Amino acid sequence: MSITAGIDVGSTYTKAIVLEGDSVIGMAMKATGFKLTEVSEAMFDAAIADAGISREEVQYTIATGYGRHQCKVKDLAVTDLTAAARGAHFFFPATRTVLDIGGQTMKATKIDESARVKSFRLNDKCAAGTGAFLEKTARYMGFTTEEIGGLMDTSKEHVTISGVCAVFAESEVINHLSQGTSPADIMQGSADSLSARSVQLLKRVKAEPEYTLIGGLLRWPRMVDTIAGQLDAEVNAPAGEMVQYTGAVGAALLGRIRLNKLAEKDAVEQTA
Amino acid sequence: MTTTEQTDGIVGRGNRDGAALFRDWFAELNEVAENGGRAAYVFVMGSLNEVLKTFDLPVVFPEINSLQTAVRRVAHEYLDVAEDAGYSPDICGYVKADFATQIQDGRHPMGRIPKPALTVYTNACNTYIKWAEIWERLHKIPLFTLDVPGTRQGGLITLGGDVDFENDKRYVKAQLLELIELCKKVTGKPFDIDRLREVMGFANTMSRGWKRVLELNAKTPSVFNALTDGTIYLGVANGMRGTPEGAKYFDDLVEEMEYKAANGIGTLTDEKYRLVFVGVPCYPIFRRFNELFTEWGGTFVNSTYLWFASGGTNRGFEYDLADPLDSLAEGLLISVRDAMDSMFHQDRVLNEVIDDFGIDGVVYHPIKSCRTTSTGMADSRRYLMSQRDIPTLFIESDMMDRRVVSEAQLKNRSDAFFEGLAARKAQAGASAPS
C-alpha cells in the first residue's frame, strides 16, 4: 500500500499528515512562525516519526498552503483550494461546497462530484472574517486563543458586534465591557459577525449542499453551529483535529493520485 | 540572406525598435525641457495628436510618464511626494506621480519632462478633467475638453448615415475647429490643412497596422504576448501617432507578426492556455505578474487594455484625406466611443474574442487607483459567466502603488485558476472521442 505525505504550510499553523492507503498513520502540527522552510521540514519529520517510518518510505509528498513554495521536502505544490477540496471530499464524498476559515484567510470553494474546483472566492485582503479577528478580540479581553471555544460555550446572550475589522474591534470590545457585557457574550457576538461574513462569501460562489466546513476556527464546535444556524442548513465538519488537517490530508491524497499516474505512465512506457 | 539572418533581424524587432523610439522620444522631451520649451499634454484615450502634430507641438502623455515610474520601481517616491502635499492614497496613482513630477521641475527617471503649453483631453476618463485642472492651477495654461458622445445604449453602435451619429459628428467637428483656433493662438502658427493630411496619413498607416497586429494574435501559437509585448506596441501607437517613425514602426511590426505567423513562431511561453486580460496592467511588478501566468503555460493573446488605452485605434479606422476635418471628427467619434465601450461594455466584445482567439480563460484585473476601468468589472465578469462556460479569474492589485500589490495573494489565486484549467483540459481530453 502506498505511503504519501501532505504538508499544509498555513499562515498560522503548519500541519503534516502521512497516509498509508486511506489511513492516517502520522500527523504533526505547530505554529508556522516565520521560518517556513524549517517548520515544514520539522513537521514532515515529526509526522513520519509519529507514523514510525523513515523518510525513504514516503513515496510522494505534496505541499500546500501559503508557504508551499518554501517547503523543500515536497515533490509537488498545489494550492490550498485544491487540497482542501480533495480533503473535504475524502471525509464527506457528497461535498459540493467547502468553507475554509483559517488564521488569515477565509475561502469558499464550489467543487464537483470528483472534488475538482469549479469556482472559488477568497477573503485575504484583511483580517476581517478570519481567525485573527477572533484572536484579537480574545486578547483584548485578556484571554488566549485556546480559551475562545470555552468562552463561546458559556455565552448566554449574544451581543451585536457591528463590524469585523480586527483593528477597530478593540474599541467595540471596550464599549461592550464598559456596559457590563460578559466576555463570553462578546466572544459569541464576534463569532456571529464572522459567521455572517462567511455566509456572504458562500453566497458569492452560489454555494450548494453538502457544505463542509474546515480550518482552524472550526475546531470549536460552537463555531460550526453558528455558521450552520446562519446558513440555515446542515453542515459537515471533519471530526476532532481532522478539521484542521483536512488540507494536509487532501494534499496526501493528491500525492497518491499522482503516484498512481506515474506508475501507469511507467507501465505504458515499459509495454511500449 | 540566410533564413537565420532573416529571423534574427525580424523576430523581436518590434520590442527593440519600440524601446529605442521611446528612448528617443524622452530624449527629445528632455531637450525641450532643458531649453525652456513647452509641450501639449494629452491622454491615451483620444490624444488628438493629429491636430497637435500639425502645429509641431511636442506631446507629453502624463499617463505614460507615470506608469514608467512604476515599471522603473520608483513610483512610491512620487506617490509619497503627492501624498505629503495632501493627495489621498485612494485616488489615481497616475495623477499623483504626475503631480510629483510637476512640482519637482519635471524630474523623471527617463529625463526631464517639459511644462505644458496647453492640455487637450477627452471625456473618456472622468479623472482627466480634474487632473488637467491641476495643471491649469500650477501653470496657468488653457485646457481643451473634447466632449465625445458615448454609446447611448449598450450594444447599440451608430455609424455614418444614422441621424444621431451625424449630429454627434457635427458636434465633434465643431469642437475640433475650436481646438485649431486654440493651437493657432498658443503656437502663433497658421493652420496648414495639407500638413494635417500628411499627419493623418501616417496615423492611418498606424491604425491599419495596429488592427492587423492584434488580428494576427488569433494564430496558434500566438505571435506576441498582449500583456508585455503588446504594451510596448501600445506605447508607440500612442506616443508616435501621426509621425513617419510611427508609421514605419507599424509597417515593420506587421511584417514581423506576419512572418512569425507564417513560420509558426510564438512567444517565449510554451503555450498551453490562451488567455485574455481585462483591465490595466500591474506595473509595479510588471514582469513578475506576467510570470504568474507564463509559469503555467498561460499566454495573454488579447487584452482590453490594448483597445481602450490606444483610444480605440485598434478598430483600424482610416481617415478620408480628401475631407480631413470631417473624417477626423468621424474617426474620433468612432474610436473614442469604442475606447469607452472597451472599459464599460467589454463583455460583448469578449464574447466574440473567446471564439475568435480560442480563449481558455479570462483574467479580470481591477485596480485600486483606477475607478474608471475597475468599476463594474465584477458585474461584467458575472454577466460573461452567465453567458459562457468559460473560467475566469478576478485578481486585484494596482497599476502604480506597490503598497496594495500582494504577490502571494495574486499567486494563490492564479495557481488555483490554473489548477482548475488543467483539470478542465484533462476532463475535456478524457471525454474527447478517440
Domain boundaries, chain B: 3-431
A-interface mutation test, from B412, B421, B424, B425, most A Cβ less than 10 A away? B412
How close does chain B come to A117, measured CA to CA in Å?
Answer: 6
Task: Quote the CA–CA distance of B284 and B111 in Å, as a whole number.
Answer: 20
Nearest CA in chain A to B405: A125
| Minimum Cα–Cα distance from A107: chain B residue | B413
Residue B271, preceding peptide bond in cis (omega within 30° of 0): no
Residues 35-74 of chain A whose Cβ lies under 8 A from any Cβ of chain B: 66
CATH topology assigned to domain A1-92+241-272: Nucleotidyltransferase; domain 5 (3.30.420)
CB-neighbour burial class of residue A64 (10 A; exposed 0-12, middle 13-18, buried 19+): buried
Q: Is A13 on the interface with B (CB under 8 A)?
A: no
* Residues B342, B365: Cα–Cα separation, whole Å: 14
A94-237: CATH superfamily: ATPase, nucleotide binding domain (3.30.420.40)
Q: Cα distance from B412 to chain A (closest Cα, Å)?
A: 6
CB contact under 8 A, B412 and A79: yes
pLDDT at residue B433 in the model: 57
**In this complex, do B427 and A116 lie within 8 Å of one another by their Cβ atoms?**
yes
Contacts of B408 in chain A (CB under 8 A): 66
CB contact under 8 A, A78 and B419: yes
Calpha distance A139→A151 (Å, rounded): 12
Nearest CA in chain B to A125: B409
pLDDT digits (tens, 9 = 90+) for B42-81: 999 999 999 999 999 999 999 999 999 999 999 999 999 9
Tell me whether A20 touches chain B (CB under 8 Å): no
Q: List, for residues B89-137, the tens digit of each pLDDT value.
A: 889 999 999 999 999 999 999 999 999 999 999 999 989 999 999 999 9
Interchain CB distance below 8 Å, A78 and B396: no
Q: How far is B413 from chain A (nearest CA, A)?
A: 8
Using 50, 70 and 90 to split pLDDT, how confident is the model at A175? Answer: confident
Calculate the alpha carbon distances from B426 to A5, B420, B421 in Å.
Answer: 24, 10, 9
Name the DSSP class of A156: -
Interface size between A and B, measured as CB pairs under 8 A:
30
Best of A9, A76, A81 to substitute, by most chain B Cβ atoms within 10 angstroms, is A81
d(Cα B124, Cα B329) in Å, to the nearest integer?
15
For residue B2, pLDDT beyond 50: no
**A124 has a chain B CB within 8 A of its CB:** yes
Query: Mean pLDDT throughout A169-174?
Result: 81
Chain A residues with CB inside 8 Å of B412's CB? Answer: 66, 79-80, 122, 124
Alpha-carbon dihedral B171, B177, B182, B188, rounded to 10 degrees? 170
User: What pTM was estimated for this model as a whole?
Assistant: 0.87
Higher pLDDT, A127 or A136: A136
Rounded to whole angstroms, the Cα distance separating B145 from B124 reads: 10
CA distances A133 to A29, A105, A150, B144, B259, Å, are 22, 11, 17, 51, 57
**Minimal Cα distance from B408: which residue of A?**
A66
Is B409–A81 a contact, with Cβ atoms under 8 angstroms apart? Answer: no
Q: Which of A79, A116, A125 sits opposite B415 (nearest CB)?
A: A79
SS3 content of chain A, % helix, strand, coil (to 5): 50, 20, 30
Is A122 in CB contact (< 8 Å) with chain B?
Answer: yes
Q: What is the pLDDT of residue B1?
A: 43
Judge contact between A57 and A26, C-beta under 8 A.
Answer: no
The whole-angstrom distance between A176's CA and the closest CA on chain B is 32
Which of the two residues, A122 and B286, has the higher pLDDT score?
B286
Residue B260 and residue B286 in contact, taking contact as beta carbons nearer than 8 Å: no
Region B233-258: mean pLDDT is: 97
Q: Minimal Cα–Cα distance from B48 to chain A, Å?
A: 40
- Which chain A residues touch B382 with a CB distance below 8 Å? none
Which amino acid makes up residue B118?
A: L
Residues B220 and B266: their CA atoms lie apart, in Å, by 8
Highest mean pLDDT among A111-120, A167-176, B152-161, B212-221: B212-221
B173-195 pLDDT tens trace: 999 999 999 999 999 999 999 99
User: What is the structure's pLDDT at A226?
Assistant: 94
Complex-level ipTM: 0.74
B-chain residues within 8 Å CB-CB of A82? 416, 419
pLDDT at residue B362 above 80? yes
Cβ distance of A79 and B396 shorter than 8 Å: no
Q: Do domains A1-92+241-272 and A94-237 have the same CATH topology?
A: yes
Which of A66, A81, A116 minimises the CB distance to B408?
A: A66
B408–chain A nearest CA distance, Å: 7
pLDDT digits (tens, 9 = 90+) for B320-345: 999 999 999 999 999 999 999 999 88
- Contact list in A for residue B420 (CB cut-off 8 A) is 116-118
Give the model's pLDDT for residue A164.
Answer: 62
List the single residue in A117, A124, A125 with the smallest CB-CB distance to B420.
Answer: A117
DSSP-derived 3-state class of residue A28: strand
**Among the ranges given (A128-137, A146-155, B46-55), the one the predictor scored with the smallest mean pLDDT:** A128-137
Give the pLDDT confidence score for residue A125 in this predicted structure: 67
Closest-CA residue to B374 (of B235, B281, B237): B281
**Per the CB < 8 Å rule, is B419 touching A122?**
no
Ranges of each domain in chain A:
1-92+241-272, 94-237
